[in-house]
Structures are given as C-alpha cells and as structure tokens.
Chains A and B, each alone.
Chain A
Amino acid sequence: MDYDVVVIGAGNGGLTAACSLAQRGVKTLLLERHNVPGGCATSFCRGRFEFEVALHQLSGLGSDEKPGPLRHTLSKLGVVDQLEWVEMDNLYRLLVSDDLDITLKADRVAAIQTLQERFPAEKDNIAAYFDLVYQFCVELITIYSSRDQEATPEKYPAYFEYALMDTQKVLDKFFSDPLLKMAVSIYWGYTGLPPTKQPFSDMAMLLFSYLELKPYHLKGGSQALSAAILEKFLESGGEVRFNCGAGKILVEDGRVTGVVTEHGETITTSYIVSNASTISVYTEMIEPEHVPAEQLQRLGGSTVGPSSVTLYIGLDCEPQEVGINETTNFLCTSIDMEDAFAACWEIESHDDYTLVSCYNISDPDISPPGTSQVCIVDLKYGEPWLTIPPHQYFELKDKVASQILDRVEHYFPGFREHIEEIEVATPITHMRFLGTPGGAIYGFDQYAKDNNMFTPPRSVIKGLYFAGAWAGMGGFQPTLTSGTTAARQVLKDIKRQAGVKI
C-alpha cells in the first residue's frame, strides 16, 4: 500500500482527520483540488480587503480557564496556542421591522435580564426556559461524556423528554409572544432549519454553547486555523498534494483499495476518509457496481441542505458610522419564521432573514484602519438557481444582492453609499468553490432523523469513512470535530485488523 490512509479534501473535517492520523504515526496522504487548505475555512482578496469566507461565530472553544470541547480537540492537534483567539461579548442583535431591537449578551444572567426587561409579561417563563436549556444540555453532556450505562428517563428527565422534540413545540410551551420566540431561537439560521423543523437538542446546544463558552473569532480568520492544522500535519510527517483532486475511489470485494487522482494517478490504500460529500462519493467516485443498493437508499433518505447568497463587502468607513455596533446582527422583516424559511426556496430576496456580521467590532485588525469588513448572508437552497437561463444570471444575481442591501440599508442607513468593494456569492458560486451538491454550506438538512443517532456516517464499504458537514452537522465546531472522530474510527479498525488489543 502506498499509504495507510488517504484523506480526500482539506476542508475542516479533512484537515483534522489527516492531522490526527499523522500525529499517531499513520502514513497519511491528503489530497486537495485547490491550491491551499481550508475548503470554506478560507479567505480571498479584493482591493485592500481580505474577506473571511465562512466563519462567523466559532462555538465550543471556551477559554483557557473554562475550555470547551473544541479547545480540547484543537489542543490535541497542537494548534490552539499559536493562534490568537478573539472572544465576542454578545450573542447577537436582533432587529425585527420596527417591532424589536434587542441585543443579547453572551452571558446567561444578562441575556435573561435583557429579555425580561423587554418581555415583562413572560418574565418567569423566560427564566424557566433558560433553566430547561441548561438542564437539558447538562444532562446530554453527562450522558454522552460519561457514557452513562444507566441513563434512564427518571435520571435525565429533560433529555428524554425533549431531545427529539421540535424547537417550536418547546417555544410554544413556554412563550406566547412571537417576538420573544424569535428572540431566543433566531440562531436556527446557523443550522438551516426553522424551529418547526429543527430538533430542540440542536437549538439548545447552540444557545448553551454560546452562552457558556462564548462565541469566538480568530486573528487572520479561518484561513489561519486551516494553515495551522496543515502545518502540524506536515510536521508529523503527513504528505499533501494540492491542485490534485480525487477522481475515483477504488473498491474491491466491498473494501477500499485506492484512489485515482484527477490526473489519472492510482494511489493504493486501505482506508479513505472523505471530506467530499457522501453524495459525490457514492454516485460519482465509486463505480456503481461497488455501491450497495442499501447505501444509496440510506443516502436518499436525506435532503440537500441550504446554500446561501453571501455578500462580502468592504466599507470605506468605520462600522459605527452606518450604525453597526454589534458583530452579529439578524435583520428580519417578518415575524413569521416559517415564511422566512419558505423564502430560502425562492431566488429573490423578499421575506428572507439576513445575517450581517461585522468582524471589526470584535477584531479591528480585520480590515485597514478607517474601513470595515461586512459579511451578509441569506440562506438559499441551490435547486431553484438551476432554473435560471444563463444569460439572465448576472442580472438576477445583482437584483437579489440589491434586495438584500435594501434591507440592510433600512436598518443601517448610509450603508450602500460606503461600499468600496463587494463580491456576491450565489448558490452557483458555492457549488463552484465548495464542490458540494446544491452548493450546500451545512451538508444535509438536519431534521431529527438526520441526527447521527439515526443516521451515523458509517459506510457499508469497508475502509471508507467520512468527515465534514455531510457526515453530521454543518458549521465549524461539528466539522472540525468530525475529522478527529473519523480518525479515531480508522485507528480502531487499523488496530483491529492488525490484531492489536485495544
């Protein structure tokens, strides 16, 4: 065998998988079709700006004193100390037409207080809801981190009651004001499904994690993280080939035997960790006769998640000049979150919710003095974009961007007048650069049925493993973690094959 393991794709999951394996002495080759590591954890330049592509609020990191699970994962790889992390004070500012303007601190007591001041009629329910979120998360963490063999509904009542309930049901149980429901659940945009479709465990963990461990950014953006992990991989003897995508995965008798690169070179290996989507792997990279029907059927049970229209903008003024005072801002024109989700299926931007991230608030070095960098995101499914006649694409792209900017202008007057650079990415752009089905940014839609509990990323094909958004949830923390999980599974199997007792 040329390599023990070949990792396909140097996105978050591929990088942490490759690095963990190399650090344990496994002979690992990392293949990447682009010329730098990172996947969407990267940046690009326009004029005097270097735009962060994907990272908004890193979850799960925590501080030195109070480390979160992601800090443990990254510490093991040896990349935590060399990076400069920036803690954010606030969760978000939520603006809903003229009805609501609320900013929540990344602190349980303060967030509750702010909500209670704005919604005094539901004061007690607010406290009770946060109690539930905390109780639920503590139970969940206890069960899974201690691998409690005796976990029962009596011992962990919140977990067993709410884990698979949809967020909306829980919100309805606690609150009556739709604005309040929005104020505590607007993070649904970070996982892609609205409260009626999102499992409560996803919502609760997201909120709990940001409140307890704070949201983070890092100096140099997500590319600094990708570059750091790659360096550690190389230091540990890992090999990388850039400008070299994987074309085919070779399978014999139900077992992985190698990879053929896009340039036609065959590389033999017994294990593959794919950061490329399960859809690409099973429908394009492996010859159909080697893909069991069962595998395709499993795949068919999940739907491709949303992509986005993203506006990367450089302003020629400080953020405060246009009224931006928070890093993370959600702008909503309607209080109906279902309508907002339905709008993700439309090309144009009418009822969408818009995320406006301005990194300068927490990290002034992100752009030259006197300027600001703003990233604006509307979730959009990729499918409708396939129907656009090519000759109408650019006009439509500009139109949608303009609609989004009209919304931004409403809340931040003068914004448009200060634009110095703008790059618009549509689902087609994301398909191009990420190579994912539908240009999806979070992998599959994350309904309860798509949770690893029901849909573990295990393959019927021996030696084939997955890391990244398509192997679980999307977002930085889940994808970075998925790589080390995949690496652990590969190692376990290597040892089993070698007859080593684990």
Chain B
Amino acid sequence: MSISEMQKMINGHARIAEELEICRKYGIDYYSQRGKWTRAVEKYHPRRLELRVSEKFAENADTTTLRLVSTNGYLPPFRAGQYINLFVEIEGICTSRPYSISSSPTQTAYYDLTVRRIPDGFVSDYLLDKVNAGDVLTSTGPAGHFYYSSIYQGNELVFLAGGSGITPLMSMIREVTDRNLDRNIHLIYGVRKPQEAIFHEELLKRSQRHSNFIYDLAVSEPEAGYEGITGYIGADLIKQQMGDVTGKTFFICGPREMYSFCIPELEKMGVPGRRIRRELFGTPTEVTKEPAWPQEVKADAEFTVKLARGQVIKARASEPLLIALERTGIVVENCCRSGECSLCRVKLQSGKVFQPSGALVRKSDQESGYVHSCVAYPLTDLEILL
C-alpha cells in the first residue's frame, strides 16, 4: 500500500480533499495580484528616488539648501531626523553622501537638504557649485535611526547640535512647532563663530513664537565683546542653561569630536545611556589620527585589493575601501557611509583593515571576516568577496 493510499484511511481525509478542491476552484488569483506587495514596500522604501532640484537657496556664507522634488510626484514619508543617501557622478566617479532632510516631515512635496561646504569636500563642492535648479539627482529612500520615538523617550527633549549637525534637528524642531506637538525642546547650538549658525533667524523666530521651544546659541570662539553664551557644550554649560536634566532625553548631532566630548559630559551628569541618542559618526577626517591607528602604516601607503574573478585595484590606507572601489567604477550598495547600516558589507578573504570606533559590526561578521567597506581602511594588501 502506498503512503497516499494509506493516508486516505485517515478520519476526515475525504472531507479535507474536497475542501481543497473547492478552495482551488474558487481560490485566489495570485497572478492578477502580482507586484502588489512590492508596490506596497516601495511606497516607503524605494530602492532609488529620482529627484529634481526645484530651488537652491543660501542659508549663510558657506551653506546652501537644495530643495528636491520627485520627478514622478511622489516622495516617501520620513521621520524627522532621517537622511537620504544622495548619489552623484563627479569626474567620472560614482559616489554618494548621506544628507539629513532639514525640512519638516509634515509634508512630502519636497525634501530640503542643507549642505555646508567642507574643506576639500569632493561632493559638497559639487553640490554647491555645479548643481543647479532643474538638475536631476538620484538617492536612496529615507533612512536612519536618529529620530524621536514617542514610545519611550518622553516629552522633555534636549538637542545638542554642532555646526551642520543642526540639519536633522531642524526637521524635528519644525515638526514639533508646526504641529504644536506636546513636546518641549531645548536646543543648544554650538558654533565657533555666530555667523556660522545655520537657520539662526528661523530658530529665533520659532523660539519666540512657541513656548515649548528654547533656543540657545553657544559660541566657542567669540570676538571680544560678544554678549551671548560662550564656550563648548559641556556639563557646565548645560547645567547653566537648563538646570536639572533628570528625565530629559538628549539628541546629539555634530562632528565626531563632539560625540566623544559631549557623551562623557552627559554621563558625568548622571544622564543614563538610554536617554542619549546620537546621529551617525560619519567617517574620521583624518583616520591616521584615530587613537588605535597602527603608526607603522602611513597615510599615503598604497595597497592592492584583489576581487573575485581576478580583478585587482589600488587602495590607499587613508581612504575607506568603499571609496577605492568607487574610484575604479565598482558599485557597492551603500547608505549611511558611517559603518552602521551594513549595506556595504563585504567579506575579507585575506589581509587586514582598520575599523574606527563606532562601526556596528555583528559578532558573526567579525568571526567570518565581514567588514563594512565604508569604514574599512586597508592596512595590508587585501582579497575581498563582493
């Protein structure tokens, strides 16, 4: 007796076989529904967005906002604080940079990206000097975890911003004030000189109009006679501006140095780790100055990287592997370029790389030799699997 003959003797077999026939006869036409789920996901997480620069306006001497609209009329929703990774092709090299959306998430007619010129900034120079209204760019969908969560972060928020780190916080401030949300925000914005502050006028106006938003500008290199708040954002300045910090949730965004200074200061004040949120670390400006960098490897050292199928490329010690790959036209999917999102993960088959602090590499990845190529700096010749 075959198994299927045997199974026919099970109590209820004939009834279920009949049920199945009926279900199939009047069943779901999956063919007519094809693509339904993919389209649902693309509303939130499109692989790429095509964006047109609708306007470009100066915020201050070295900062400009690019207002981006969708070429097809639809932009996904985002959480205030999130970024998009903007792809550009400059001098034949395809690369990308993540930029926080500075506009409010209360509307998705456009995303504003506020870009500050950084010295020798390959991409920022291009965006500020070469890109004009009407130009079309591509990006990822909105991403990132630096956003407010009503689930556990409470209503008392302190924002600590440094330089262009104001951009994601600006989106949060605009959202809370535009929608009159029941949240109190105290912003301390640190700049070297007052004229470097981005959105200064708007921040002032919003703080005057909304009692739940306090704005302090802290200047670290004031000119003689400057009457505002001065100094770096540390425990003393925070205490002086807001007194008790119990129950407050801190959001910090600024250069890497700011995190390594501010976070210990907050811990010193007794702020628990769960109440400190920080934005992406970014990449070190000079990786060879990182504390754990092996001194025997010089910044200009050049190594070879062997890829599958025999291809060999050159890579400099001072530059992330991802950029070395991009220079030779090899496309590796990436998004945060700060070692967190893991999209640019590659497998190291031989050789050694330097990974600065802050890269979130999983235990299993460490064990099987995976690295995040956006923050992996070659220390020897390498062999990688893409």
Min CB distance A386 to B, Å, is 5
Stretch from A54-62, A121-129, A413-421 at the B interface = A413-421
Q: Are A390 and B43 in contact (CB under 8 A)?
A: yes
Min CB distance B35 to A, Å, is 7
Q: Are A448 and B364 in contact (CB under 8 A)?
A: no
Q: Are A454 and B151 in contact (CB under 8 A)?
A: no
Q: Which of A221, A301, A386, A423 contacts B20 (CB 8 A)?
A: A301
Interface string of B1-26 (1 = CB under 8 A from A): 10100110111110011011001110
Residues of A within 8 A of B1 (CB): 149-151
Q: Which of A152, A164, A221, A223 contacts B11 (CB 8 A)?
A: A164
Interface string of A116-145 (1 = CB under 8 A from B): 000000000000000000000000000110
Interface residues on B, range: 35 or more
Q: Which of B6, B23, B34, B45 contacts A449 (CB 8 A)?
A: B23
Q: Are B10 and A160 in contact (CB under 8 A)?
A: yes
Residues of A within 8 A of B7 (CB): 453
State whether the Cβ of A265 lies closer than 8 Å to any Cβ in chain B: no
Q: Are A422 and B151 in contact (CB under 8 A)?
A: yes
Min CB distance B13 to A, Å, is 6
> B-side binding surface: helix, strand, loop or mixed?
loop
State whether the Cβ of A425 lies closer than 8 Å to any Cβ in chain B: no
Q: Which of A161, A303, A394 contacts B77 (CB 8 A)?
A: A394
State whether the Cβ of B386 lies closer than 8 Å to any Cβ in chain A: yes
Residue of A nearest to B3 (CB): A147
Q: Are A242 and B11 in contact (CB under 8 A)?
A: no
Q: Give CA–CA (A431, B35) in the complex, Å.
A: 12
Q: Are A43 and B362 in contact (CB under 8 A)?
A: yes
State whether the Cβ of B92 lies closer than 8 Å to any Cβ in chain A: no
Q: Are A284 and B77 in contact (CB under 8 A)?
A: no
Residues of B within 8 A of A220 (CB): 363-364, 367
State whether the Cβ of B342 lies closer than 8 Å to any Cβ in chain A: yes
Q: Give CA–CA (A401, B362) in the complex, Å.
A: 26
State whether the Cβ of A432 lies closer than 8 Å to any Cβ in chain B: yes
Q: Which of A284, A301, A420 contacts B34 (CB 8 A)?
A: A284
Residues of B within 8 A of A418 (CB): 274
Q: Give CA–CA (A416, B10) in the complex, Å.
A: 50
Residues of B within 8 A of A46 (CB): 145, 360
Q: Give CA–CA (A43, B124) in the complex, Å.
A: 34
Min CB distance B191 to A, Å, is 28
Q: Which of A164, A288, A300, A432 contacts B16 (CB 8 A)?
A: A164
Residues of B within 8 A of A298 (CB): 24
State whether the Cβ of B36 lies closer than 8 Å to any Cβ in chain A: yes
Chain B positions 31-54 with a Cβ under 8 Å from a chain A Cβ? 31, 33-37, 40-41, 43-45
Residue of B nearest to A424 (CB): B151
Residues of B within 8 A of A420 (CB): 273-274
Residues of A within 8 A of B343 (CB): 35
State whether the Cβ of A494 lies closer than 8 Å to any Cβ in chain B: no
Known contacts A164-B12, A391-B77; is A402 also within 8 Å of B150 by CB? yes
Chain B positions 215-267 with a Cβ under 8 Å from a chain A Cβ? none
Q: Which of B6, B24, B27, B40 contacts A386 (CB 8 A)?
A: B40
Q: Are A405 and B151 in contact (CB under 8 A)?
A: yes
Q: Are A428 and B40 in contact (CB under 8 A)?
A: yes
Q: Are A390 and B77 in contact (CB under 8 A)?
A: yes
Q: Give CA–CA (A402, B151) in the complex, Å.
A: 6
Q: Are A439 and B37 in contact (CB under 8 A)?
A: yes
Chain B positions 356-384 with a Cβ under 8 Å from a chain A Cβ? 360-365, 367-368, 370
Q: Are A162 and B11 in contact (CB under 8 A)?
A: yes
Q: Are A432 and B45 in contact (CB under 8 A)?
A: yes
Q: Give CA–CA (A291, B30) in the complex, Å.
A: 12
Residues of A within 8 A of B28 (CB): 299-300, 303
Q: Are B364 and A301 in contact (CB under 8 A)?
A: no
Residues of A within 8 A of B385 (CB): 242
Residue of B nearest to A151 (CB): B6
State whether the Cβ of B194 lies closer than 8 Å to any Cβ in chain A: no
A-B contact pairs, 11 of them (CB 8 A): A153-B9, A220-B364, A283-B30, A297-B27, A298-B24, A386-B40, A398-B150, A405-B151, A418-B274, A436-B37, A449-B23
User: Can you list the 7 inter-chain pairs with the closest CB atoms, starting with the nearest?
Assistant: A300-B27, A301-B24, A420-B274, A45-B360, A283-B34, A301-B23, A449-B20
Q: Chain A residues in contact with chain B, CB under 8 A?
A: 35-36, 43-46, 50, 143-144, 147, 149-153, 159-165, 220-221, 223-224, 227, 231, 242-243, 279, 282-284, 288, 291, 296-303, 316, 382, 385-386, 390-391, 393-394, 398, 401-402, 405, 416, 418-424, 428, 431-432, 436-439, 448-449, 453-455
- 9 extra A-B contacts, CB within 8 A, seeds A316-B273, A437-B30: A50-B363, A164-B10, A164-B16, A165-B12, A299-B28, A301-B23, A428-B44, A448-B19, A449-B17
